[in-house]
Structure 1
């Protein structure tokens, strides 16, 4: 039975050997079909892992916010034909604050074996380093962009944090950090 491997990628310029398991190498070198956010970045990451990978023999399906549902369903055709596939994200773990979640949902629906590979997650690393409650936490994804909705959401999250003694985790793009901090 074919598998859909969820392969984590680097969060920083660290040597990949320090943060990714060795199991990543055979997955990347033996798999011929990849679902990626950005083909150029994925190719560069794969060459970093193994310089001998023949990139030109591989098939890449690009998954981003513009990808339609019909396209996503077609991405999984190789796995339905018993070929292993891998999902690569831009940074961190596929399917976590990442468009790969929809591919994983469809793979389960189609009976394709899904195999997550352990690796770095900025969300868990932030929780670990925070000193906040790691027994009761919620990941809220990206917060609203519009300032009025952002302020309202932050107010709700603050209330939850106090009432439930619950750590509230969210992520933000670097260019919106100043707006977030001023809210």
Structure 2
């Protein structure tokens, strides 16, 4: 049975390491789920490790950070490499897809991985968190019913 691909929101650049600050940005349930994963696909491995270090302040990681697998998926990743990124999921391993900031797969190279995951029958679960696009629409005063992206 394939694993689940979790779409994990990242902070929008916040680096305050306090538990209180992080809980205002990323819900506790999302933090806990993120902490138990040991395979991630991220735009940048260094940024993803920084995000996991923030999570680890509140929720101990299931493995030492050095043992967590982080594969990169960015604008330079060839389409032919996507299947390899899904191989652990097809083998039954859960994974987290993390963007540089905000939610993954929206105006983000992760969208291609999500599409391929669906084609392979992999369950995709989006998790709630900050979205710069949604926040901008909310703060703009525009009618969200007629907004197009």
With normalisation by structure 1, the TM-score equals: 0.73
1:126-173, CA deviations, whole angstroms, 9 ceiling, x for partnerless residues? 11011111111101xxxxxxxxxxxxxxxxxxxxxxxxxxxxxxxxxx
Aligned twin of 2:32: 26
Aligned residues between the structures? 139
Q: Does 1:95 align with 2:105?
A: yes
Q: Does 1:4 align with 2:29?
A: no
CA distance in 2, matches of 1:37, 1:16: 21
Aligned twin of 2:47: 41
The structure with higher relative contact order (CA 8 Å, sep 6+) is 2
Give me the CA root mean square deviation.
1.2
Gaps of 5+ in 1: 140-183
CA distance in 2, matches of 1:135, 1:49: 35
Max radius of gyration: which structure? 1
Gaps of 5+ in 2: none
- Give the ranges of 4+ consecutive aligned residues of structure 1 lying more than 3 Å apart after TM superposition: none
CA distance in 1, matches of 2:48, 2:115: 22
With normalisation by structure 2, the TM-score equals: 0.88
CA distance in 1, matches of 2:139, 2:52: 29
